[in-house]
Amino acid sequence: MKAQVSVIIPTKNEERNIERCLQSIKNQTFKEYEIIVVDNNSNDKTKKIAKKYAQLVFNKGPERSSQRNYGANHSKGVYVLFIDADMELTPRVLEECVTKANRTKKFGGIIIPEIPIGKNYWERVKAFERSLYNKYGDATTDAARFFPKDVFLKVGGFDLTITGPEDWDLTDSILKAGYALERVKAEIFHYEYITSLTALFKKKFYYAKKAHRYLKKQNISTVSPKTVYFLRPIFYKSWKEYFAHPLLFLGMVGLLSGELIMGGLGFFLGKVKQL
């Protein structure tokens, strides 16, 4: 059967997540797909598990953008879907995406709502934050995951010079090229893993170091809803949620304040040193 959709998954030591992700693809109602796993030198059982499900398993680094582009360049599908190993597709994701794509003129990409799953307190706080974006959709944070392969290649795929906001950059580039974005109702479960606040803040600092490239490329102000969480209108539209979940709300304010500080430090370091 010819693949209409190529599902591309970058991995790095994901043995605890990858089988759940791959099984959710196997359970899709739409069956005309191929699975491509692009691994970055895992030293656990990631590749062994992937080979039980995927048509193609590659080894490629150094970052997820290069892994995704590599997978797309070796894909056979009309469409490409990029997901992460810590995600689980609900059964109708592919079906709804293909149906929507076939009905949309000058189609460029599809936003798939993500339902965050958290266990410990900080994971639940981060899940609470993300739920605000996903409940109604938010133009500031929305990024497409499903694309026509020809459109993806036409805009150059993921920009390898940008690490962090590369999903936003790709979505913005597709919109600027005059293509339409759509949204489906089928959801993706995204399992949040926060081992410590220190690890989370270090990750934010790392990804922020090249954010200046994205802002310059897309002509976005340094101080804007893209960069400052508390400037996003969705936070003020969701005030009823804060009264319903006061402990999560207080944790979210503290967490976002810490991420804002570390992200700001990373941003200015990257801009000064032109990283």
What is the set of domains in the chain, with CATH numbers?
Answer: 5-273 (3.90.550.10)
| Range of lowest pLDDT (32-41, 79-88, 142-151, 232-241) | 232-241
Res. 1: pLDDT tops 70: no
Q: d(Cα 143, Cα 43) in Å, to the nearest integer?
A: 30
| Strands 33-39 and 56-59, bridge-based pairing | parallel
Residue whose tokens read 């680094």: 61
**Is the pLDDT confidence value at 77 over 90?**
yes
Three-state helix/strand/coil letters over 102-121: HHCCCEEEEECCEEEECCCH
Confidence check: pLDDT of 234 > 90 = no
Strand partners, 189: 88, 115
Cα–Cα nearest to 147, from 56, 68, 31, 63: 68
Average pLDDT over residues 212-218: 93
CA distances from 47 to 28, 67, 143, 206 (A): 22, 14, 28, 26
CA torsion sign for 23, 66, 126, 206 is positive
- Per-residue model confidence as pLDDT tens digits over 80-139: 999 999 999 999 999 999 999 999 889 999 999 998 898 899 999 999 998 888 766 677
Rounded CA-CA distance 127/124 in Å is: 5
Of all residues in the chain, what percent carry a pLDDT higher than 90?
77
